[in-house]
Amino acid sequence: MTKRVSRTVAATVVAMGLAACGGGPGGGAEKISDGKIVLAVLNDQSGVYADLSGKNSVEAVKMAIADYKAKYGDKAVAKTIEVVSADHQNKPDIANTKAQEMYDRQKADIILDVPTSSAALAVAGQAKAKKKLHINVGAATTALTGDNCNKYTFHWAYDTYMLAHGTGTAVTTEGAKSWYIVYPDYAFGQDMQKSFSTAIQAAGGTVVASDPTPFPNDNFSTFLLKAPSLKPSVIGTMQAGGDLVNLVKQYNEFKLRDKGIGLAVGLMFINDIHSLGVDAFQGTKFTDAWYWNGSPENRAWADKFQQVAATRPSFAHAANYSAALQYLEAVQRAGTDNSDAVVKQLEGYAFEDVFAKNGQVRAEDHRMIHDVYLAQVKAKADVKEDWDYEQIIKTIPAAEAFKPLSENTCKLS
């Protein structure tokens, strides 16, 4: 069994000996700046996105470090690896300040996760300015690999195009031709509204109305009570995390399904279903980037995760593990943590790990493409164990799941 590292938020993983032993092309600890690598996890640890990622993403990153050290042993290029983390409170100004501190004071080589699109864009700006890496897992905006792309930023797990062209297309073609979209009024929600509207219309549907909602928010009654007058087939909710839970709870309280108005969820995590129970979401289709019980390999990793986190992993947890592991593998191939050298090792790299199937990092825009899944929430009678809430309906191949390069506006700099 792999030996796990300490569970402190600022953890140091030290391999046996600090002698220079080449594991990559350059080889040797002297190729590592300051004699160590620092992986920083910046995310929401106290708000609406804390459960779906939060402190447990730090645990996932530690698991990646442990697996890297176990694989390479004394041939590991990175002899000393530290993990630091901080709470950005879903605020771009705080994310910007924390990113500066991580890169400058804590000597972070890479910042991981960063949910909340406005916060992610702030961190991407710092990554470009500091010439340090940022692999984003938690944010959905396509701007990270579009107009706001840069040489040092990569986008790993999902984005609004993927979600819209999975869920929006599927739900519309199955008969929900008219949509009322409610979305959180910041970069993520605005991008979701645009991406879903495009996908719905391309599939032959219409958007009868779209309304922005405050973020974060615990009262959606104004928008839900407006829905009957619009007579949509479905309400398309673009909220996530705690906001999604609040909206769905109120949707059920107002018995909108009984009034013939269905529910389509733009972004859902396993934690959301667990919070309210399958009855609240039964039959709801959504696009998932990864499911903990989707394969024996996924389940085996989820069992290890549960031992350290006391919960089943969301796709964000698995993707943070993948991003950290593939970063360390790139360092190993480069023989150094020099940012430009690591970027070259990531660009165009094709791989598979527990999260990514048919994964490839596109060199042109730094979008990591991979297979994703159209899922449906099970009926309560079909749930055989706690957390096993999803039925995978079909796999959407990597080449189809993400925005094609022909439609992209990225100019890496």
CATH code of residue 222: 3.40.50.2300
Answer yes or no: is 119 within a domain. yes
Question: Looking at 13-22, 76-85, 340-349, which range is the least confident one?
Answer: 13-22
Asked if 196 and 238 touch (Cβ cutoff 8 Å), the reply is yes
d(CA 83, CA 265): 34
pLDDT at 185 over 90: yes
DSSP class of 269? -
pLDDT at 7 over 60: no
Check residue 22 and give its pLDDT. Answer: 39
Q: Are residues 316 and 244 in the same domain?
A: no
User: Listing from the earlier edge strand, what are the strands of the sheet with 37-43?
Assistant: 11-14, 80-87, 37-43, 110-113, 133-136, 153-155
Q: Are residues 314 and 221 in the same domain?
A: no
Answer yes or no: is 71 within a domain. yes
Q: Are residues 98 and 193 in the same domain?
A: no
Joined together, the tokens standing for residue 83 give 């993990």
Alpha helices (H) in 73-111, listed in sequence order: 92-104
Q: How many domains does the structure of the chain reveal? A: 2
Q: Looking at residues 272-276, what average pLDDT do you find?
A: 95
pLDDT at 28 over 70: no
Q: Are residues 283 and 399 in the same domain?
A: yes
User: 339-346 and 315-334 helices cross at what angle (nearest 10)?
Assistant: 110
Answer yes or no: is 204 within a domain. yes
Check residue 217 and give its pLDDT. Answer: 96
Question: Per-residue pLDDT tens for 193-245?
Answer: 999 999 999 999 999 999 999 999 999 999 999 999 999 999 999 999 999 99
Answer yes or no: is 390 within a domain. yes
Check residue 15 and give its pLDDT. Answer: 38
- Pairing label, strands 110-113, 80-87: unpaired
- Sort 320 into a burial class: Cβ within 10 Å, 0-12 / 13-18 / 19+: buried
d(CA 69, CA 72): 5
Tokens 């998932």 -> residue? 288
Asked if 156 and 176 touch (Cβ cutoff 8 Å), the reply is no
Q: Are residues 192 and 278 in the same domain?
A: yes
Q: Are residues 264 and 154 in the same domain?
A: no
Q: Are residues 168 and 272 in the same domain?
A: yes
pLDDT at 2 over 50: no
Range of the domain at 84: 11-158+293-369
Q: What is the DSSP string of 375-387?
A: EEEPPGGG--STT
Averaged pLDDT score across all residues of the chain: 93
Check residue 413 and give its pLDDT. Answer: 86
Q: Are residues 121 and 233 in the same domain?
A: no
d(CA 266, CA 383): 23
CA neighbours within 13 Å on the CB side: how many for 103? 23
d(CA 356, CA 371): 7
Q: Are residues 233 and 339 in the same domain?
A: no
Q: Are residues 184 and 237 in the same domain?
A: yes
Q: Are residues 256 and 383 in the same domain?
A: yes
Check residue 12 and give its pLDDT. Answer: 41
Phi, psi of 373 (to 5 degrees): -140, 135
Answer yes or no: is 413 within a domain. no
Percent of the chain at pLDDT > 70 equals 93
Answer yes or no: is 412 within a domain. no
Q: Are residues 284 and 206 in the same domain?
A: yes
d(CA 345, CA 289): 24
204 contacts: CB under 8 Å, gap ≥ 6: 172, 173, 177
Q: How confident is the model at residue 363 (pLDDT cuts 50, 70, 90)?
A: very high
Answer yes or no: is 5 within a domain. no
Q: Looking at residues 80-100, what average pLDDT do you find?
A: 98
